[in-house]
Amino acid sequence: MASVTSEPLTDLFLRLADDPSLLEAYERDPRSALIAAGLGAGEIDTALHSPEAMRAAVDAELDGDPELRRLVTTPRMSTQTPLEPEPDEPPEPDEPDPDEPPAPNDSWESRPA
């Protein structure tokens, strides 16, 4: 079982991944599990507020650990619009909106839509 005992929130999620009964209990009552993990009431309120808040709490934990700081990265996209026009490209639409923001600085994106 993975463990990072000095990071209580991260450690809790790692234990949840390896323990179905603990996961079931957590999903039933996350607040109690977080208290048992050593988090304070304020931290729990913040973390449970939204996925972004929980992510920030996990990042803050790991960012304080010199060994684990490397894991705190920006989420990355793993796909992108194809470069080539499709063989049966539909007709060009109407004139672009004059208020439209400038196209990104990439050849495929700067083509008239």
Partner 1 sequence: MGVATGVAVAQAPAGGDARRGSLTVVGTGIDVASHLTPAARGAIEGADEVLYLLADPVAALRVEALNPRARSLDRYYGATKPRRETYAEIVDAIVGAVTGGVRVCAVLYGHPGVFALPGHEAIARVRAAGLPARMLPAVSALDCLLADLGIDPATTGLQTYEATYFFVRRPPVDPRATIVLLQVGMLGESGGAATDAVPGRFAVLLERLAELYGPERDAVLYEASPFPGTAPSLTPVRLGEPDAVAPALMATLCVLSGR
Min separation Cβ 63 and partner 1, Å: 9
Footprint (CB under 8 A) of partner 1, residues 15-54: 16-17, 23, 26-27, 30, 33, 47-48, 50-52, 54
CA distance 57 to 63: 10
| 98 is an interface residue for partner 1 by CB under 8 A | no
CA distance 10 to 96: 48
CB 81 within 8 A of CB 75: no
Which of 32, 31, 73 has the alpha carbon at shortest distance from 55?
A: 73
Q: Which residues bind partner 1 (CB under 8 A)?
A: 1-2, 4, 10, 13-14, 16-17, 23, 26-27, 30, 33, 47-48, 50-52, 54-55, 58-59, 62, 68, 70-84, 86, 90, 93, 97, 99-106, 108-109, 111, 113
